[in-house]
Amino acid sequence: MDLLATPNATDAAPFPTRFRKGRFLDIPAEAEWWEKDERLHRARLLDVARRSTQAIAVLQSAVILHGGSLKHPPRQAHIHASWHRKPMKTTGPSFFALSPRERRERLARRPVVNHRMELDEDQLIIIDGILTTDLLQTMELAARFLAPDDALIALDSLLAIAVERGPHWRDDRPSLERKARVILTRILRSLEKHRGQRGYRQARELLAVTTALAESPFESEMRRIALAAGYSRIEPQVEVRTRVGVRWVDLGIPGVRRGIEINGAIKYEGGAGRLQREKEAARRVDLAEVGFTVRDVDASATADVPQMLKLLDESFPEQRDLHGRAALWTPAERARFR
């Protein structure tokens, strides 16, 4: 289906979705919410790329083009362009008279957001016909300018892509971690050009804890909450030696016989779901035999930060530092939990 086609009334898409003035997108009524957001984002990004050769996909749009993940799937196209569109007439106060929260809310209503950060034009590539920042520049910009919850998920997922993590990465974990350190060092060196500028401190904090080992956005989010709250020794994919070999736990602290497992519903669906449950039950028996306790967390529960903090306190009561990594809190979280 042509993403930019004129809408056709069908049973599957009775309500075409407008992605810019006068242009509509057919989205099946049965599509999941994230599929709708994904299609809307791509339609807007393709549209602006076709209308302007100066448009460069950045931030959330660049992360998605590279195959990375985000906590909040973008509906808007995020670009960098030298042109300025004619300001739209709006009722009420001007943009610069608004509070930071009100500015974010108004920006969220725009189909396209044109960002003004400095780009390295030697680090641009084309993906699916769309000009965008290359992988390392995308990671650097994400670390500087995205909210910490989106940023760490993006960084973990992009680093896994950069090191070409395969399905059997555990067979040579040290090699994977060496490759990751090389890439992160390159990004940190590039970041030094922006010392003292907006996002520099946050980027250094985020890059210091970025890993190629996180296997889902929910693992990254849980780790961010833990690090921000002061559980500085928490690590992804902790190895536990059992009587039948090495087993892995999503999150844990070396030397502590407790861990946290993040469970997404999707891996239990279909015919493979029963087999997956049986494998996990056997793994838990192996872990229990060596005195290792696992706390299960539903992936969707990671959105409840107070509940996750309670779970961390119960799992690792003696492991919390007095101060955490405050730069990893979102602005709203910082006011509540710092």
Question: Over the stretch 307-322, which tens digit does the pLDDT of each residue have?
Answer: 999 999 999 999 999 8
Q: Which residue has the tokens 């998605």?
A: 64
Pairing of strands 112-115, 17-20: unpaired
Tokens found for residue 130: 């769309």
Say how far apart CA 311 and CA 330 lie, in whole Å: 20
Task: Please give the domain boundaries of the chain with CATH numbers for all domains.
Answer: 215-338 (3.40.960.10)
Say how far apart CA 165 and CA 151 lie, in whole Å: 20
Say how far apart CA 64 and CA 156 lie, in whole Å: 13
Q: What is the pLDDT of residues 125-161, one digit of tens each?
A: 999 999 999 999 999 999 999 999 999 999 999 999 9
With cut-offs at 50, 70 and 90, classify the pLDDT of residue 19: low
Please give the torsion angle defined by the CA atoms of residues 64, 39, 149 and 269, in that order, rounded to the nearest 10 degrees.
-100
Q: How far apart are the first and last CA of the chain?
A: 48
Tokens found for residue 104: 């974010």
